[in-house]
Structure 1
Amino acid sequence: MTPRETWETDVLIVGGGPVGLALTLDLRYRGVPFLLLEAGDGRIGHPKVGTVGPRSMELFRRWGVAGAIRSAGWPGDHPLDVAWVTAVGGHEIHRLRMGTADSRPEPPWTPEPEQVCPQHWLIPLLVRELGAHPAGPLHLGCRLDGFVQDDDGVTATATRLADGAPLQLRARWLAGCDGAFSPVRKALGIPAPPFHRTRTFRNILFRAPKLGELLGPRRALVHFLVRPPALRYPLRSMDGDELYRLTVTAEAERHLDAMTLLRTAVAPDTPLELVSEHVWHLTHRVADDYRAGRVLLAGDSAHTLSPSGGFGMNTGICDAADLGWKLAAELAGWAGPALLDSYTAERRPVAGRSLAEAHTHLRRTLDRTLPEEILRDDAAGARARAALAEQLEREGVRAEFDAPDTHLGFRYASPLIVGDPDGDDGTWRTRALPGARAPHARLADGTSTLDLFGPAFRLLCFADPAPMTPVTSAFAHRGVPLHVTRCPDRTTARLYGRPYVLVRPDGHVAWRGTRPPLDPVLLADTVRGAR
């Protein structure tokens, strides 16, 4: 009988997708020991997610990998446009001009705009960064078989798939980042009821080595098909060169082979090579709870939503950022009893709003009428396409591809957040609001205010110097890490809106005031979940 290998760690992560890897990055950043189990080998044969959103890029910046993501392979001169077309290279109906990664101006609200980096680049990049066993903490090719928890931790059993060797792991906490059909969530018995009916799609991955050259200035990141009767989903460039992905419904086009669909979707007579097909199920679910004892859920194991808008992976990466510092606090001993419970309270409403926003974009696509006339080459066809272009403009289709409010504007409302008795005086773009992401501003040395946040709580002081000893002493007495930064920059002071702003390790505003906190001990206990 093969002896059972036994490993011990503080946090066991199950699932090596973008969210599980993001959580490992955050734990590494905070010096927390962890192990990750992933049944796959760290390679992606059929990539899904293509764009890393701005908030995720800000977090990757904190974790030291934003530069690697930006240099992963997407050409800086390739258009980021979205074009609605009857076929790629056919009639173009409407175009959102988004510039290129090299030419677009930096948005005022973030130093890290979204970046195209499909999963077949992103996952191997993060795996290399973290390191696979035996040199690193990622245990690839290992399948979780089960787990039990007690008052002190979680004991998990697993199998190394290469040789069938049994494994036993002991951790103080377990994070289930194991996807939409999460065995971890099912083992916990946590319901994830559907919001809308399940839909089935086909993703067709193909190569067209000469297509980009043929299109020239008509290239786009996304060619959104509007071709009656049923082609109404994106055809997306996956590498800015020759790799593309077409999405179709499995219901409407199930009788058509992949190459027939590709020849319909691509107008020029150009070589097309089928790479692979993937059938997937679109579900719209949010788990009733993100925690059961010492086991927590993140990413698709906690919520699944339409890819319309690109919110799914990015919602999960923000889960990791919220969960990471709270687990670190628990392990360091300064967390209050309510800190980890606040994870569900803060992240579950964000998932619900992201799901609703994504479904709005999906319904716009599903409900859009596509008249046959738009395919015609005569004057009637031109009129029909012009009318459809006006309709697209009225529908506000830009919101699906340019959504800073969804990516950056969410706010937490939990017992850890201290409300401002004077109320709100702006939006996330113009003020540091309690519960919201602390805003980006360029500092005198060229860095961002965002670069101040992460290792500890950060108290920003924009007023004339005041004694901070009572605050630092109160936080030190509770073991809560705190840095105090005096910021004389007037532009940043106006943006933050209050002379004193306390920012959490995840970069969200915990408290703000016109004077130093009157009861620093109460503030320290509140933000660590002890009130």
Structure 2
Amino acid sequence: MTKEFDVEVPVLIVGGGGAGLTASILLSRLGVESLLVTRYPSTTRLPRGHILNQRSMEIFADMGVASDIRAQGTPPQNMKGLGMYSGLAGGGPKDGHGRRIGLIEAWGGGYDDPDYVAASPEAATNLALLRIEPIFKEKAEQYPQATVRFNHELVDLDQDADGVTATILNRETGETYTVRASYLLGADAGRTVGQLAGVKLSGAHKIRKLIGLYLSMDLSPYLAEADDAVMSWIFNPEFPQHLDWGGALVPQGPAWGRNSREWVLHVSGEGMDASQPEKMLQWGREALGIPDVDIEILGVQEWWMESTLADDFRAGRVFMLGDAAHKVSPTGGLGLNAAIQDAYNLCWKLAAVLDGRAGGALLDTYTAERRPVNQANIDASTQAAHSHAGMNEAMGVSPDKSVEENWAALRLFWEDGPGAEERRHEFSQWMSKRTLEYHQINTDFGYTYDSAAIVGDGTPAPVPLDAIRLYQPSTRPGHPLPHAWVERAGERQALRELIHGGHFALIAGEDGHDWVEAATKIAEQRELPLRATRVGLGKVDFVDVRLAWTKQREISATGAVLVRPDGHIAFRSTASVDDPVAVLSAALDQILHTAVAE
């Protein structure tokens, strides 16, 4: 008998970038078989997307790739912040070349900022997809549950009440084959899946064109003050016409700081054309002030800043992740991180539904939870982009001034003279607005969920002092689990490690024995991956060594919180209850959208 389908698999993933490979790894770790196809013959050859925030690094720790990322990523001492500098070389005053105009701490200042240290066991880091994707691909291919096929392209899909039928083209042989899957994940940046599934993205398209030049060059003689900068903006008075944008330099390693040998140079302006790389390189040389540096062009990428959001992240049995669901301007580095976090939200839900531990309606909460977060990302990045306004005025430079006048303005940043103190303070005031881009800890990390998979406890949502820049830990349902170091038998671990591997975690106070017993009983009945434990001081399972959990838990010694496999609080009881089995069972029925008879 001829098979109706060439391949049958629970989940088909379309797209082999950050979102798709993350989903493949997560599903494998949850025991779910998947097939990943991508039209490209290899992982990306260009260094797109590079900032990895704390939430993403926590996910990578759960995936088992965090140490590999850190081994290749920017060391903390080389990513203290964003630096701004004068032109690197040219005909101006020699002692002014490559001088620092200002530095603003970014993404935790190399994990020195107390707010970032208290928020998470993981520091943010910097590594482009050029080097991330091979790490992910190798990891994904290690699992027997995963099949990964590059150079295989989705060309058609059709879905019904029971699943999705996809037609895949093997681009190497020209042959097509059919795949039958229960669910399809669109992680192809919106190239094919969204159109075939009828997903619409609303918002601002083609806001501004950017060119990214991927270059090999030695800038170590010119960036003596930039070793601690993860990004450098250069303003060269020799060519005033480029001062409106300057040149944005991002080191790519393998060494870091000024010793990096590979860089991405972002340029912008009228008349840019990626098909003329030498012209764009000349533009970059002028913006930076490096006319004589030996440069090899490794690649050129042209792209548009966009702020778009899908009306729904789900179309039947098709789910959109990453750029297929939302596109955000690069300010703040939110795009890649959001893609990774989309996958983390969705994959545990898919596993629970496929295993029969949850009702299908649980998958509706993916849009309900992730769409508002990504709307907030778009809003935050838009505000951050607006914070660039007034940059030239704050430095005292202008395309309308002469070269000599612009150099004189910049010299006030490193030489004393009339008006120097006032100029530096005005610039500090302007730089404070850039915290909207580089201190987005609440946008990056503190986002909350509000859906049917969260059991509210009737408490009012806290009003943040600053919705973008200040993260305030809480155990209110929907919030991320607050970070705390805990200890057992002399071994220290982060509290959030209790959820690793797709587990729920019931965390009770010192006297919460009844909660632990109830959770253990329910987990056995439902065959639910759930770890139940008491955390605090004294005779407990995990000792709260720094009292960080005690300070943030917002429950009594007899209370408990239930944490979902994606690290968000799903249920909270501040104290004991008469029937913890009934209460916890009802909570799980709501979270998982299923009813289990006692």
- Percent identity reads 29
Which letter maps to 1:200? K
**Paired residue for 2:248?**
234
Equivalent-residue separation in structure 2 for 1:374 and 1:390 (angstroms): 22
Matched, 1:435 2:478: yes
Equivalent-residue separation in structure 1 for 2:593 and 2:246 (angstroms): 48
Deviation sequence 1:3-55 (CA, Å, 0-9, x none): 99822211110000001111111111111111100111333222111221110
From 451, 454, 479, the counterpart of 1:417: 454
Measured after TM superposition, the shift of residue 463 of structure 1 is: 3.5
Unaligned runs of 5+ in 2: 89-96, 413-418, 465-470, 537-542
**Paired residue for 2:382?**
359
Deviates more, 1:58-67 or 1:252-261: 252-261
From 470, 475, 494, the counterpart of 2:551: 494
SS in 1 for 2:588: helix
**Paired residue for 2:296?**
273
Matched, 1:328 2:365: no
Q: Is the 8 A contact 2:200 2:310 kept in 1?
A: yes
Equivalent-residue separation in structure 2 for 1:134 and 1:166 (angstroms): 24
From 363, 370, 376, the counterpart of 1:340: 363
Deviation sequence 1:284-338 (CA, Å, 0-9, x none): 1000001111111110000000011001110111100000001001101121242
**Structure 1 runs of 4+ with >6 Å offset:** 102-106, 132-135
Which letter maps to 1:288? D
TM-score, normalised to structure 1, is 0.91
Deviation sequence 1:229-286 (CA, Å, 0-9, x none): 4324622112121111111225355599122222213335432222222111221100
Measured after TM superposition, the shift of residue 390 of structure 1 is: 2.4
C-alpha spacing 1:97/1:483, structure 2 compared with 1 (3 Å): closer
C-alpha spacing 1:366/1:187, structure 2 compared with 1 (3 Å): farther
Measured after TM superposition, the shift of residue 417 of structure 1 is: 1.0
**Paired residue for 1:529?**
593
**Equivalences for residues 382-393 of structure 1 within 5 A:** 382-383=411-412, 387=423, 390-391=426-427, 393=429
C-alpha spacing 1:389/1:303, structure 2 compared with 1 (3 Å): farther
Which letter maps to 2:534? R
Which letter maps to 1:242? R
Deviates more, 1:218-227 or 1:103-112: 103-112
Aligned length: 527
Equivalent-residue separation in structure 1 for 2:458 and 2:47 (angstroms): 47
**Paired residue for 1:449?**
495
Which letter maps to 1:440? H
TM-score, normalised to structure 2, is 0.81
C-alpha spacing 1:434/1:382, structure 2 compared with 1 (3 Å): same
Q: Is the 8 A contact 2:205 2:305 kept in 1?
A: no
Which letter maps to 2:266? T
C-alpha spacing 1:134/1:337, structure 2 compared with 1 (3 Å): closer
C-alpha spacing 1:103/1:435, structure 2 compared with 1 (3 Å): closer
From 169, 181, 185, the counterpart of 1:171: 181
Q: Is the 8 A contact 2:85 2:233 kept in 1?
A: yes
Which letter maps to 2:573? G
C-alpha spacing 1:353/1:101, structure 2 compared with 1 (3 Å): closer
Q: Is the 8 A contact 1:4 1:165 kept in 2?
A: no
C-alpha spacing 1:353/1:377, structure 2 compared with 1 (3 Å): closer
Which letter maps to 2:296? E
Equivalent-residue separation in structure 2 for 1:425 and 1:103 (angstroms): 27
Which letter maps to 1:335? A
Which letter maps to 1:351? N
SS in 2 for 1:198: strand
Q: Is the 8 A contact 1:14 1:175 kept in 2?
A: yes
**Paired residue for 2:438?**
401
Which letter maps to 1:217? E
Between structure 1 and structure 2, the one with the greater Rg is: 2
Matched, 1:260 2:282: yes
Which letter maps to 1:529? H
Deviation sequence 1:193-245 (CA, Å, 0-9, x none): 12465321111111212x12442233332112446543246221121211111
Measured after TM superposition, the shift of residue 470 of structure 1 is: 4.0
SS in 1 for 2:347: helix
**Paired residue for 1:162?**
172
**Equivalences for residues 44-443 of structure 1 within 5 A:** 44-72=44-72, 74=74, 78-88=78-88, 89-96=97-104, 107-131=117-141, 137-179=147-189, 181-195=190-204, 198-209=207-218, 211-219=219-227, 220-226=229-235, 228-229=240-241, 230-232=244-246, 234-239=248-253, 240=256, 241-249=260-268, 251=270, 253=272, 257-268=279-290, 269-365=292-388, 368-370=391-393, 371-372=397-398, 376=405, 379-383=408-412, 387=423, 390-391=426-427, 393-394=429-430, 395-423=432-460, 429-443=472-486
Measured after TM superposition, the shift of residue 524 of structure 1 is: 1.4
SS in 1 for 2:533: strand
Which letter maps to 1:485? T
C-alpha spacing 1:342/1:212, structure 2 compared with 1 (3 Å): same
Give the RMSD, CA atoms, in angstroms: 2.9
Deviates more, 1:99-108 or 1:347-356: 99-108
C-alpha spacing 1:493/1:426, structure 2 compared with 1 (3 Å): farther
Equivalent-residue separation in structure 2 for 1:344 and 1:270 (angstroms): 49
Measured after TM superposition, the shift of residue 453 of structure 1 is: 1.1
